[in-house]
Structure 1
Amino acid sequence: MKKFLIPLFAVLVILLVVGFKASKDKQQKKIKITTAYLLFPVEENADEVKTTINYPDKKLPDIFWIRLAQSKVDYWVKLEVGKYKGKNLELIFDGPSAAKFGIKRIKPSDHFKVNYPEPYRPDFHFSPEYGWMNDPNGLTYLEGEYHLFYQYNPFGTKWGNMSWGHAVSTDLTSWTYLPVALWPDTLGAIFSGSVVIDKNNTAGFGRNAMIAIYTSSGKVQSQCLAYSTDKGRTFTKFEKNPIIPNPGITDFRDPKVSWYQPENKWIMALATKQTVTFYSSLDLKNWNRESEFGEGIGSHAGVWECPDLFPLTYEGKTKWVLLVSINPGGPNGGSATQYFVGDFDGEKFQADPLPYPLWIDYGRDNYAGVTFSNISENDGRRIFLGWMNNWDYANETPTKIFRSCNTIPRELQLINNGNHCILSSYPVKEVDLLRERTVDFPAQIVENENTLNELLKDNDGSFELRMILQPEKGNVFGFTLQNLKGEKLDFVFDLFTQSINIQRNKSGLIGFNDRFPLGMNAPLLPKKSYEIRLLIDKCSAELFINHGEIVMTSLFYPNEVMNTLKFFSKEGTLKVENIKVGDVK
């Protein structure tokens, strides 16, 4: 027996040590709520801590993954708890022992202010108050308000804890943050989806109820419903979710729902691996599969996501446009959005014979864009909003308390580029009202290089450049934005290769990801002139050529404002007219 005593003793010691370590890593904290918020300290590069929150009025807890501070506090995030005043919340933390540093610093507060210095916070593009954002979701209009829901992590600046953030605007340019609209539940995280206004009460939740159809992503992806009768301020999840269970498909997500007037029914476009599947419904709760589109057409270099189907007028006829985002497989690497033009009969989409793939934006930083629903007939616009980032480097861009912003809202139209039908996009007219002052510059005749040294006095990095380029001789010409540190953005037009190229490899901070400095190209048809509109907003450049015939969106992170404009022309003459620089706020 003695020979077994030492090994048995050793085993007991090991079990005790392991058990003690596990108890150290799992910590509990009970808090009596006396304020509107609990504030959590976050350390950007710390390990995630599984945070379980038990509420007094919920049978099941909420579970989030938070990078609780372990040695320093980079920023704070909030949990809204005001409705539990006078009651106790139990918090359970499962993670590194070092998280004790952050757990001890969790504090109650009636105030939450984001006052961190953010040199790359945009002036006239939407960005989340704090935390991570990706796809725009549920874009809709109701009673004077544009609603923007979005993929949101309210507990950190990296992807995770997918919820629906919410903001509203009366003019598409200034936004008011609202509380998180949809939180994860037992079916999973809240992935992308859409919102419709049920004018005819087809679902039975009331006339003009706001209905959200979204993907729950847990063990599988399924489609779910939530409804609001207070203009989106609160949502109730449908008790019989999911409304479309998973049929055995890994990628089964991003429902975009719209009303199909000819047959008085709802249509859903749903991303299903590398195709789009269409469903129909009379009541938004019971859905029938209609057809599938995508095999053998367009780009299939990555997973299809975030479809959107809508009609536009082209040459006096109704055509249908199908947007499909793809990751990876964009024309310049990473994620991008392709589109198809054709006909839809309420069941099937048939694409016209065009030179697919066609891209709504040839820059690297416009993804998962969709359009607003319920825009009035008197307005009549099809308004698009995209996520201004790329999955190649989205989690690493050099901002602090927030990460990502949206593109400028854009009006979509079908036009002819001289060869065939294309989808153009151009800033909505509301953006024009943001222009505070405009400086006019004299026309330039460029035979080698010409430089305008000060575009705006007191330029803070948010401005608009408009001009007309007329290449009279030579194949290569363009312009450069630069600063006194030598950082620059190059826009190169090459008529020989019939392409336009944006280079940001010397634009400032580029070392956070080795794919960020890569250039980007778009096809360019030879023309007598090119009308340029370039929107610059701290860390973004949105280039629109010939009223949105070509669009390129690019992020860049300069160390100081680019306030110098240089024109160049190789082996020829470039004439530049109507040069206007506007201060945009």
Structure 2
Amino acid sequence: MTEPVQDHSAPMSVATDHKVIVAELPVNVTFHIWLKARRVGEPGAISLISPNGKFGEVLSHNLDEYDFRIYHVFGGGPIELHYDAERTVISVIYWFTAVDVLEAGITVLHTNGLNAPPDLPDSYHFRPPFGWMNDPNGFGRFDGRPHLFYQHYSHGLSWNTMHWGHAVSSDYLRWRHLPIFLFPSEELSAWPDKRGGAFSGSAIALPNAPGIRVFYTDQLKDRQPEEQIQMTATSADLFSAGKAEVILPHRPDGEGLTLDFRDPYVFKGPDGLWKMLLGSQSAEGGVILLYDTEDRAAAEGWTYRGKLLVEHRHRTTAIECPCLLPLDGPATHPATHWVLIYGLMNSEDAESRRKNLTMAEIGWFDGQRFVKDFEQELDFGTDNYAFQAFLDGDMPVGIGWLANWADANAATIFPTAMTLPRTLKLQDGHLLTPPIGAAESLRHRVLDRVRLASGGEVVFPNGAVEILFEMAEPGLPFTLNLDHPALRLAISSDEEGLELIHGKPGEDNAPRYLRPGARIKRLRVFLDYGSIEIFADHGRHVATKRLDGFDPIQSARLVAEPGSVAWATVWSLRL
């Protein structure tokens, strides 16, 4: 992962408000700079200075929001960026070279206290290089590499005007940050008023040329008649988007839909046509809409085919982020099972008080209809939201936002992460979602192979840990107690099932994270700063939970009857 370079701002002798950022550049560099003015009538300014003197200047007159500026530096060597901190506020500065940005990523020169990423030694979850992040978008393999786009706001750690951030990897774990990919309109970018931007979507490879086509929802609050419309754009170089075009300017007529009309997920159907799923809401409940097109490039001709699914059990206010993909065979085979995954915005399970559930339905898809065989919750911890998956060769791979709108809103300030990437498997009538096999490469050092299994305490050197153990028989009771400075945190298995115990001291009516009836034999737990991910019986039962703050879990103790733990191993982890 490309690490931010420290801001080398230093006071000059001429004035205490004069700041300097230094950089050593290769040739043909592109700068992305966000700045704004502090005072009316005095523009914010950054001067670019080489050993031969000043050669450029970037200006902003906006007092409300940071202006985005692009500056090209053709000659390499040392440069300095000078600004007056009493007149100018800088949010982000990074640079890259177009010729090798996919290999080298961006180099971040400056963030500030409002948008800087947390400093978390050995943390292994994906986080943005600055600012806010939520839903994964456009997750896929393009030109041989996994790409991850995501909902992003650069200038703070709370939700605001949406952009698409972007990163590329070779193994789904170690990511290089790339330039911001999609930008909201200039009208939206001028003020931090939370009115919309480039909302969630997906990406496909261009069929007859190098590059990708992305699909996303353009949101503009109070726009008439549609707040949300569907857009598409292409990128030949895989890091910059061309001009966006409207492909669906309005909701389908006669369906009684709310203004919710978002999150296009595009995939190839069993009939060879491009399909698009969209989430919405009607008087019947949450709705997934189905479109398709005969256009091989998926650029136009999208036709509404009807409601693929109506969900009315969990009182959702809208279905979000639907995705559909084959599980156990080719898309064209009629016996192949497909999995339909979707989030239920503002839903609540009355019995457990868990909110914003994500469902997975397994069945058959003929290109027009989805027939359900069975369903299960994707994650009983609920903090694997906006999950997006695609078929990487013949292996389904997915990733989710490691958070939940029950804990976050437009005013909440916290840095967020993506979940560990998972594979999706159909086995013995159950959907399994274990972590990708490459997760084993995170294992840095064995911490214990004796104490945990015998009931002793295992102390962790930092916050990045994997715990793996097996019981002698399925269903034997145990409690794995995890020592967290601010939370009651444990994993328990008994006659009720598998439970993630999570709560603050004295907290009433906390949600209960229970998978009823689960009889566990094998448990794999990933701990990181601010999160816990549980994979029981190879991903048959999965729970993901974001933990407030970044205090590390300090130790673990496994309580079980003598002889009931077959073996246990604990590793420290790092990228």
- For residue 234 of structure 1, the aligned residue among 240, 247, 256 is 240
Aligned residue in 2 for 1:138: 138
Contact kept in structure 2, 1:453 and 1:563, CA below 8 Å: no
Task: Tell me how far 1:502 sits from its aligned partner.
Answer: 1.6
Aligned residue in 2 for 1:337: 358
Where does the alignment leave 5 or more consecutive residues of structure 2 unmatched? Answer: 1-36, 50-57, 75-83, 95-107, 189-195
User: Deviations along 1:113-140, whole A, 9 cap, x unmatched?
Assistant: 4596836677111011111111000011
Taking the aligned partners of 1:583 and 1:466, their CA distance within structure 2 comes to 12
Where does the alignment leave 5 or more consecutive residues of structure 1 unmatched? Answer: 1-23, 37-54, 67-76, 86-99, 202-206
Aligned residue in 1 for 2:11: none
Q: Structure 2 vs 1, CA of residues 502 and 478 (structure 1 numbering), >3 Å: closer, same or farther?
A: same
Contact kept in structure 2, 1:305 and 1:324, CA below 8 Å: yes
- Matched residue SS, 1:365: coil
For residues 552-563 of structure 1, the aligned pairs below 5 Å read 552-557=543-548, 561-563=552-554
For residues 381-460 of structure 1, the aligned pairs below 5 Å read 381-395=395-409, 403-416=415-428, 421-442=429-450, 451-456=455-460, 459-460=461-462
Q: Structure 2 vs 1, CA of residues 505 and 471 (structure 1 numbering), >3 Å: closer, same or farther?
A: farther
Q: Structure 2 vs 1, CA of residues 102 and 567 (structure 1 numbering), >3 Å: closer, same or farther?
A: farther
Taking the aligned partners of 1:504 and 1:119, their CA distance within structure 2 comes to 25
Task: Tell me how far 1:282 sits from its aligned partner.
Answer: 2.2
Q: Structure 2 vs 1, CA of residues 210 and 255 (structure 1 numbering), >3 Å: closer, same or farther?
A: same
Q: Structure 2 vs 1, CA of residues 395 and 486 (structure 1 numbering), >3 Å: closer, same or farther?
A: closer
Taking the aligned partners of 1:452 and 1:151, their CA distance within structure 2 comes to 43
Task: Tell me how far 1:563 sits from its aligned partner.
Answer: 3.6
Aligned residue in 2 for 1:578: 567
Amino acid of the residue matched to residue 343 of structure 2?
S
Taking the aligned partners of 2:396 and 2:491, their CA distance within structure 1 comes to 29
Taking the aligned partners of 2:167 and 2:61, their CA distance within structure 1 comes to 23
- For residue 326 of structure 2, the aligned residue among 295, 311, 330 is 311
Q: Which has the higher helix share?
A: 1
The TM-score with structure 2 as length reference comes to: 0.74
Q: Structure 2 vs 1, CA of residues 301 and 175 (structure 1 numbering), >3 Å: closer, same or farther?
A: same
Taking the aligned partners of 1:351 and 1:133, their CA distance within structure 2 comes to 33
Taking the aligned partners of 1:271 and 1:435, their CA distance within structure 2 comes to 39
Amino acid of the residue matched to residue 243 of structure 2?
K
User: Deviations along 1:341-374, whole A, 9 cap, x unmatched?
Assistant: 111111121222x3x5x2110003110011135x
Aligned residue in 2 for 1:503: 501
User: Deviations along 1:448-506, whole A, 9 cap, x unmatched?
Assistant: xx6422344xx1110100001246997x53211115x58541112121x3x22222224
Aligned residue in 2 for 1:72: none
Q: Structure 2 vs 1, CA of residues 63 and 121 (structure 1 numbering), >3 Å: closer, same or farther?
A: farther
Aligned residue in 1 for 2:70: 81
- The number of aligned residues is 475
Taking the aligned partners of 1:573 and 1:349, their CA distance within structure 2 comes to 49
Taking the aligned partners of 1:493 and 1:297, their CA distance within structure 2 comes to 31
Taking the aligned partners of 1:544 and 1:31, their CA distance within structure 2 comes to 50
Moved more, 574-583 or 160-169: 574-583
Taking the aligned partners of 1:140 and 1:537, their CA distance within structure 2 comes to 25
Amino acid of the residue matched to residue 566 of structure 1?
R
Percent identity at matched positions? 27
User: Deviations along 1:387-429, whole A, 9 cap, x unmatched?
Assistant: 0001011249997xx611000000011122xxxx332101101
Q: Structure 2 vs 1, CA of residues 473 and 124 (structure 1 numbering), >3 Å: closer, same or farther?
A: closer
Taking the aligned partners of 2:487 and 2:303, their CA distance within structure 1 comes to 55
Contact kept in structure 1, 2:117 and 2:129, CA below 8 Å: no
Contact kept in structure 1, 2:117 and 2:130, CA below 8 Å: no
User: Deviations along 1:504-538, whole A, 9 cap, x unmatched?
Assistant: 2248xx99xx98x6442222333xx5101000111
Task: Tell me how far 1:302 sits from its aligned partner.
Answer: 3.6
Amino acid of the residue matched to residue 30 of structure 1?
P
Task: Tell me how far 1:163 sits from its aligned partner.
Answer: 0.7
Contact kept in structure 2, 1:473 and 1:573, CA below 8 Å: no
Amino acid of the residue matched to residue 265 of structure 2?
K
Q: Structure 2 vs 1, CA of residues 574 and 361 (structure 1 numbering), >3 Å: closer, same or farther?
A: farther
- For residue 223 of structure 1, the aligned residue among 230, 239, 247 is 230
- Matched residue SS, 1:179: coil
Taking the aligned partners of 1:64 and 1:148, their CA distance within structure 2 comes to 32
Amino acid of the residue matched to residue 345 of structure 2?
N
User: Deviations along 1:58-101, whole A, 9 cap, x unmatched?
Assistant: xxx999965xxxxxxxxxx894532499xxxxxxxxxxxxxx99
User: Deviations along 1:22-48, whole A, 9 cap, x unmatched?
Assistant: xx9993543566449xxxxxxxxxxxx
Contact kept in structure 2, 1:362 and 1:552, CA below 8 Å: yes
- Please say if 1:268 is aligned against 2:276: yes
- Matched residue SS, 1:250: strand
Taking the aligned partners of 2:69 and 2:122, their CA distance within structure 1 comes to 26
Taking the aligned partners of 2:148 and 2:266, their CA distance within structure 1 comes to 16
User: Deviations along 1:292-330, whole A, 9 cap, x unmatched?
Assistant: 122356644342100001111189941111111112225
Contact kept in structure 1, 2:379 and 2:543, CA below 8 Å: yes
- Matched residue SS, 1:433: helix
Aligned residue in 1 for 2:264: 255
Q: Structure 2 vs 1, CA of residues 464 and 107 (structure 1 numbering), >3 Å: closer, same or farther?
A: closer
Q: Structure 2 vs 1, CA of residues 146 and 335 (structure 1 numbering), >3 Å: closer, same or farther?
A: same
Amino acid of the residue matched to residue 421 of structure 2?
P
Taking the aligned partners of 1:414 and 1:361, their CA distance within structure 2 comes to 15
Task: Tell me how far 1:560 sits from its aligned partner.
Answer: 5.0
- Matched residue SS, 1:432: helix
Taking the aligned partners of 2:231 and 2:323, their CA distance within structure 1 comes to 18
Contact kept in structure 2, 1:226 and 1:235, CA below 8 Å: yes
- For residue 30 of structure 1, the aligned residue among 43, 58, 77 is 43
Contact kept in structure 1, 2:452 and 2:458, CA below 8 Å: no
For residues 82-101 of structure 1, the aligned pairs below 5 Å read 82-83=71-72
Q: Structure 2 vs 1, CA of residues 414 and 397 (structure 1 numbering), >3 Å: closer, same or farther?
A: farther
The structure with more radius of gyration: 1
Taking the aligned partners of 1:365 and 1:34, their CA distance within structure 2 comes to 44
Task: Tell me how far 1:554 sits from its aligned partner.
Answer: 1.1
Moved more, 118-127 or 262-271: 118-127
Taking the aligned partners of 1:136 and 1:163, their CA distance within structure 2 comes to 12
Aligned residue in 2 for 1:478: 479
Contact kept in structure 2, 1:468 and 1:579, CA below 8 Å: yes
Contact kept in structure 2, 1:78 and 1:155, CA below 8 Å: no
Aligned residue in 1 for 2:489: 489
Taking the aligned partners of 1:192 and 1:318, their CA distance within structure 2 comes to 28
- Matched residue SS, 1:81: strand
- Matched residue SS, 1:237: coil
For residues 503-582 of structure 1, the aligned pairs below 5 Å read 503-506=501-504, 518-526=511-519, 530-557=521-548, 561-569=552-560, 575-582=564-571
